[in-house]
Amino acid sequence: MKKQTTNDAVEESLDQATEALIKQTDELADGGSTDEPIGISGLMNVPVQVTVQLGTTRMNLSDLMQLGPGSVMTLDREAHEPCDILVNGRVIARGEIVTVGEQYGVRISEISPAS
């Protein structure tokens, strides 16, 4: 079985977003409905949730309830490991945390292959 390319995965995600958008929209811009696909240009302004994940941890609820200001949680990654960049909950890339002025940023180091 041949692996999808990153472009194929993006197209698949856009197709899914198109279907969801059509389901949520009763009328198109012209006031009528049609079965024609919206196309990629019609989706370029659709917002997506981008999340940068440094790591995760698991703990008991009792341990969670004891957390407070100054508490430290150990994550499942070492300091030198890249963080995950997720779009709508799906890992699409990895990168390193950087500072941009007074804010954090992420420098992309690799794009994840489509699965």
Q: What is the CATH number of domain 48-115?
A: 2.30.330.10
| Terminal Cα distance for the chain, rounded | 11
> How far apart are alpha carbons 103 and 83 in whole angstroms?
16
User: 16 phi and psi, to 5 degrees?
Assistant: -65, -40
pLDDT band at 81 (very low <50, low <70, confident <90, very high): very high
More confident residue, 103 or 40: 103
Q: What is the pLDDT of residue 115?
A: 60
pLDDT band at 114 (very low <50, low <70, confident <90, very high): confident
Q: Six-digit token pair at 29?
A: 């811009």
Domain ranges (residues) in the chain: 1-46, 48-115
Decide if pLDDT at 28 tops 50.
no
In the block, which residue shows the tokens 């957390």? 67
In the predicted model, what is the mean pLDDT of the chain?
Answer: 81
pTM score, two decimals? 0.60
